Structure 1
Amino acid sequence: MGVLLFAASLTPSLIPREPMVQGILGGLLIALGYLLGKTFGLIWHAADMPRLQGRPARLLDMVLAVTAVILMVWTVTFNLSWQNDLRNKMEMEPAEAQYLATILISALLTFAVIFIIGILVRELFRWVRRHFYRFMPMRRANVFGAATVVLILFVVTRDGILDLAVTWLDESYEIAQELFDVAPPPPAKANKTGSASSLVDWKAIGRPGRDFIMTGPDADAISAFTGKPALDPIRVYVGRANGETPEERAELALAELKRLKAFEREVLIVTSPTGTGWMDPGAHDPVEYMHNGNIATVGAQYSYLQSPLALILETRTGLDQATALLKVVHEYWMTLPKENRPRLYVHGLSLGAWSSMYATNLFRLVGDPIDGAFWAGPPFTSGFWQYVQNARRPDSPWVLPTIGDGSLVRYASHFSNPTQAEAEWGSMRIVFLQYSSDPIVFYDPFSLWRAPPWMNDPPAEDVSEHLTFIPIVTQFQLALDMALAFGTPPGHGHAYYARDYIDPWVEVTAPEAWTSEKTERLKAHCNVGFQFGCAGQKVPGGSGSFGN
């Protein structure tokens, strides 16, 4: 069983895998298959089921072994071509011949390490069981011995190793924020958040927020592009250390928006950052060009952890912060005269999209609703995204669905923009940007035993046609893909970048007198990659949306 699962792990998934990573995955699945086989045998033996003896048993062993070896040789032979086919679709360098040797060696080493750990756990169980034998029957000692070992391992990993690891990570990322004594000098301009005139303490904002405030196009850069006078875009950011609670940080953000007269701008965007507080410049720079700087954007940090850790360990924090910020901004915005207030939009990338969708509840969509939403790379956990996905037309693909007549919700990808629909836009506009090869979006926890919906459609342009559902194995492959998703080239996996934000922003915010020619000019201007803003500045830490 271990060899069969290893062979299956060599089949392609959504993200190309380096040989060491592929080998570790294979080693894990060898160990899992071995454990499943031993467990099945133990249950069979404990149930006193009949067992083959003699020649029939040897013949069955031989048939199973030959079948497993043939399958392994077949997948090993084709693995390199499968991987290179996928790498070619993503415009990556092909893997070399030594790829296979590295896979086999790392798989065997991984299995050996796990096997040794298993032996140590077994010996711990035997030691505990021997002590129980002194005062209880054998079967009872077996049960209590197993329960004791499970409890010991649970406590050691949860309250020991895991707790220390999480504490270390949290402290490390907090240090990386460059708070207080190590913060750089504040901005000199009074119209910047964190300046001497600002209500927000610059030293407490943190590095991601300061990068967001100080980068991006100013009025001169925008004017040089548009050829007409422009305004300096307003960017408000409140760090986690700027307030004790989500509500305090939200109220501070609102006060700063008022100070900067953000509600007098044409467009106001309430955005949710990723885990560490990072704001993707590729998402925010283009829309500021579109509206000639007559725009304000506000965000609030909720965590210091990277997004995968924040998703697991600080789930409520992100949801509460997004809800608090949108609530106070929306409630104040509703008190303003409709003819004299900005158009209000919400935005989020990755984990920020999830929290932003959560905050955009029924109260934000009826009565006096927001004007629209643009969410990029929505994680599979997003309830609103799942609801919309399941409302798709049956004849449309899962990775790029059609929702009704397209007057409310549209989708975009690296290969498709949201300009075409049966009907014109209604009073509210919602766009999802999702790449067909993004496992953060298309991971399916039920893929342990059934194929995800998108696997039932023809493969998308950057997905391998050799991708096949295999119970258990597909679950491990997609889980590994999530870890690798932000290391792909821009436009694939979870690496969203500036060019692909432009069409959705045009559709959602409807810039005045905007044309397709201007869209192409802006795409050319922003064609430096997803870790750069359209201002041409390399943004520190901008190496991937989910990882930052």
Structure 2
Amino acid sequence: MKRFWSGFSVLALLLGLAFVAASLTPSLIPREPAVQGVLAGVVMALGYLCGLVILGLWTLADMPRLEGRARRVALFVLAMVVLAILGASLAYSLVWQNDLRARMGMEQAASAHLTRTLLLAAAVFALLFAAGLAAKTLYRLVRSRLERVMPPRRATALALIVVGGALFIVTRDGLLDAAISFLDESYEEAQALFDAAPPAPIHARIPGSMASLVAWAEMGQPGRDFVTSGPDAAAISAFTGAPARDPVRVYVGRANAETPQARAALALQELIRLDAFDRSILVVASPTGTGWMDPGSHDPLEFMHDGDVATVAVQYSYMQSPFALLFETQTGLEQASATLSAIHAHWKTLPEEARPRLYVHGLSLGAWSSMHATSLFYLVDQPIAGAFWVGPPFPSQFWQRAQRMRDPTSPWVQPRIGDGSLVRVASRTSDGSEDAAPWGRMRIVFLQYPSDPIVFYEPQSVWRRPVWMAEPPGDGVSPYLRFLPIVTHFQLAVDMALSTATPAGFGHAYYVRDYIAPWAEVTAPEGWTAADSERLRAHCDHGFQLGCSGE
């Protein structure tokens, strides 16, 4: 115990507590006690480690040090300052958390929230500190053994190399094994779904049937859900009171073919088999990382156009979106490009007066890959009719260019792009119909929530305040959010990981109601009015029993 306490640094601990205070500053996404507690414990350990490194460098440089009573007084004063800051941060966190929760319609956090956070933070810090102490003990043990056969300085250097290398190998293998295991489980889960797929559909109009070119078992659960769900002609007619058609939905799973080009060709052939090019509307959609297609987006479109819609999507990954972003970004971009290229090449050979209006669509990573695929060639040579992109990730170059072209008098989170005849931006509080200029030949709409960190994260926030933080807070954003160098960057990075942990209509949780009016703006259904959009919202609010999938 004496050796333990002799190695414990109060100064490093105070720096760790300062890190905890920084982690309690306002963010875009509310934090539950478990999340905030683990986060606080990890940053406290990081702060403690930074403190040890700084003190080690200070000693190595032979800098002056306080001793005796002067040291004790200085430590006491510094501790009081840090504890006061931490206490104020805790109280303040309850204020901004509850303000943000009220804006998002969430339950208010009580003081017990802070208690659970602190207890969990202490437990996580203790665990990490014990791990560090074990590493230090191992280093001392190795060094003492080496000193028996070599000079102390050489033993110290070699012990650092041996222990550091051993820890690197163990943690590397452990972390990689955990990550690979997680990804393997995701893949195996998808494969298990292949092996245990429900019976294939009987109707020839559904991909995966006996008449289909797409193998049912290899399509995967996201694809099977997509092609077998959604409203049929009867449900659409019951809503519209007019004759309707059964919508065409085509989905090709990643396991259906070996290469992006082969999967794209298969999707095209299935569209041709189902006479999809005879429809009024053809949508080339890009799924999210797991292959999921948001029913809240596609169902309303089919109601709007009396089912005269064909939608096609091709899977590029089995992973959750954060992992797909890290490991399979290029795969998604390649697949979206191959799919749109194959379909556009066939579409433009058809008589202009007889072919469907062609649109592109995507959510999150699907929006990024769809934007990447929608190159200048598709906008100039036989242009598409429009695009609807939801929750576009911040690295998307197409989105970045549109943002930079905004009217500087308009907010960054709700920009006016030019005169609004080509590009418009919708949100939870704006449907994209407000721009003064009428639509041109092509219509592009972005749907983005001001509280979505996937959209509004900025890597430069390490040192530079994001544009949107210099403006009045947008819908769902707390006015308590302030820019702090490094701290804001860290908070936004954490917010991205928690971006879907919000009620629908905030963060990265896009809501069926907010898809309806933008789709109407992009595709201009004949005779469609704002009243029709409101009636469809009410219809979809009742969800599954009325034939319109929920959020």
Length-normalised TM-score, structure 2: 0.92
Q: Between 97-106 and 137-146, report the one with greater CA deviation.
A: 137-146
Residue 486 of structure 2 aligns with which residue? 472
1: CA distance, partners of 2:318 / 2:36: 30
2: CA distance, partners of 1:412 / 1:31: 42
Residue 269 of structure 1 aligns with which residue? 283
Deviations along 1:491-532, whole A, 9 cap, x unmatched? Answer: 011111111001111111111121111111111111247xx6
Q: 1:534, CA displacement in angstroms?
A: 6.9
Letter in 1 for 2:426: A
Is contact 1:285–1:533 with CA below 8 Å preserved after alignment? Answer: no
Letter in 2 for 1:99: H
Does the residue aligned with 2:541 lie in a helix, a strand or coil?
coil
Residue 45 of structure 2 aligns with which residue? 31
Q: 1:45, CA displacement in angstroms?
A: 2.0
Query: Cα 1:342–1:130, aligned 2, differ >3 Å: closer, same or farther?
Result: farther
Residue 545 of structure 1 aligns with which residue? none
Residue 389 of structure 1 aligns with which residue? 403
2: CA distance, partners of 1:304 / 1:92: 32
Pairwise mapping of residues 451-462 of structure 1 onto structure 2 (< 5 A)? 451-462=465-476
Residue 507 of structure 1 aligns with which residue? 521
Is contact 1:439–1:493 with CA below 8 Å preserved after alignment? Answer: yes
Query: Cα 1:454–1:135, aligned 2, differ >3 Å: closer, same or farther?
Result: farther
Q: Percent identity, aligned pairs only?
A: 59
Q: Between 380-389 and 169-178, report the one with greater CA deviation.
A: 169-178
Does the residue aligned with 1:302 lie in a helix, a strand or coil?
coil
1: CA distance, partners of 2:306 / 2:204: 20
Q: Between 163-172 and 204-213, report the one with greater CA deviation.
A: 163-172
1: CA distance, partners of 2:546 / 2:17: 49
Whether 1:169 and 2:213 are equivalent positions in the alignment is no
Does the residue aligned with 2:46 lie in a helix, a strand or coil?
helix
Residue 210 of structure 1 aligns with which residue? 224
Pairwise mapping of residues 357-436 of structure 1 onto structure 2 (< 5 A)? 357-436=371-450
Query: Cα 1:55–1:367, aligned 2, differ >3 Å: closer, same or farther?
Result: same
Q: Between 442-451 and 72-81, report the one with greater CA deviation.
A: 442-451
Q: Between 244-253 and 56-65, report the one with greater CA deviation.
A: 56-65
Residue 121 of structure 1 aligns with which residue? 135
Residue 111 of structure 1 aligns with which residue? 125
Q: Between 469-478 and 380-389, report the one with greater CA deviation.
A: 469-478
Query: Cα 1:137–1:356, aligned 2, differ >3 Å: closer, same or farther?
Result: farther
User: Which of 297, 300, 303 matches 2:317?
Assistant: 303
Whether 1:330 and 2:340 are equivalent positions in the alignment is no
Pairwise mapping of residues 45-124 of structure 1 onto structure 2 (< 5 A)? 45-54=59-68, 56-124=70-138
Deviations along 1:169-191, whole A, 9 cap, x unmatched? Answer: 33344324654431111111111
Is contact 2:288–2:366 with CA below 8 Å preserved after alignment? Answer: yes
Letter in 1 for 2:457: Y
Pairwise mapping of residues 343-362 of structure 1 onto structure 2 (< 5 A)? 343-362=357-376
Q: 1:140, CA displacement in angstroms?
A: 6.7
Is contact 1:3–1:33 with CA below 8 Å preserved after alignment? Answer: yes
Pairwise mapping of residues 144-163 of structure 1 onto structure 2 (< 5 A)? 146=160, 149-163=163-177
Is contact 1:486–1:494 with CA below 8 Å preserved after alignment? Answer: yes
Residue 10 of structure 2 aligns with which residue? none
Q: 1:307, CA displacement in angstroms?
A: 1.0
2: CA distance, partners of 1:77 / 1:454: 26
2: CA distance, partners of 1:257 / 1:327: 14
2: CA distance, partners of 1:125 / 1:62: 32
Does the residue aligned with 1:268 lie in a helix, a strand or coil?
strand
Letter in 1 for 2:547: A
Deviations along 1:128-160, whole A, 9 cap, x unmatched? Answer: 556776888766765665555555444434444
Is contact 2:499–2:507 with CA below 8 Å preserved after alignment? Answer: yes
Aligned length: 537
1: CA distance, partners of 2:400 / 2:70: 51
Query: Cα 1:343–1:99, aligned 2, differ >3 Å: closer, same or farther?
Result: same
Query: Cα 1:329–1:111, aligned 2, differ >3 Å: closer, same or farther?
Result: same
Residue 270 of structure 2 aligns with which residue? 256
Query: Cα 1:525–1:8, aligned 2, differ >3 Å: closer, same or farther?
Result: same
Length-normalised TM-score, structure 1: 0.92
1: CA distance, partners of 2:112 / 2:118: 10
2: CA distance, partners of 1:129 / 1:398: 57
Letter in 1 for 2:516: I
Deviations along 1:104-123, whole A, 9 cap, x unmatched? Answer: 10010111111112223334
Q: 1:3, CA displacement in angstroms?
A: 1.4
Gaps of 5+ in 2: 1-14
2: CA distance, partners of 1:32 / 1:446: 22
Query: Cα 1:369–1:461, aligned 2, differ >3 Å: closer, same or farther?
Result: same
Q: Between 105-114 and 52-61, report the one with greater CA deviation.
A: 52-61
Query: Cα 1:325–1:42, aligned 2, differ >3 Å: closer, same or farther?
Result: same
Residue 7 of structure 2 aligns with which residue? none
User: Which of 251, 271, 281 matches 2:295?
Assistant: 281
Residue 507 of structure 2 aligns with which residue? 493
Residue 546 of structure 1 aligns with which residue? none
2: CA distance, partners of 1:359 / 1:46: 55
Q: Between 43-52 and 141-150, report the one with greater CA deviation.
A: 141-150
Letter in 1 for 2:532: K
Query: Cα 1:180–1:466, aligned 2, differ >3 Å: closer, same or farther?
Result: closer
1: CA distance, partners of 2:331 / 2:242: 42
Q: 1:75, CA displacement in angstroms?
A: 1.9
Q: 1:67, CA displacement in angstroms?
A: 1.2
Residue 547 of structure 2 aligns with which residue? 535
Aligned CA RMSD, in angstroms, stands at: 2.3
Q: Between 407-416 and 33-42, report the one with greater CA deviation.
A: 33-42
Structure with greater Cα Rg: 2
2: CA distance, partners of 1:53 / 1:283: 67
Is contact 2:394–2:454 with CA below 8 Å preserved after alignment? Answer: yes
Does the residue aligned with 1:477 lie in a helix, a strand or coil?
helix
Letter in 1 for 2:99: D
Residue 16 of structure 1 aligns with which residue? 30
Letter in 1 for 2:91: T
Letter in 1 for 2:300: P
User: Which of 257, 260, 274 matches 1:246?
Assistant: 260
1: CA distance, partners of 2:267 / 2:337: 13
Does the residue aligned with 1:374 lie in a helix, a strand or coil?
strand
Query: Cα 1:334–1:155, aligned 2, differ >3 Å: closer, same or farther?
Result: farther
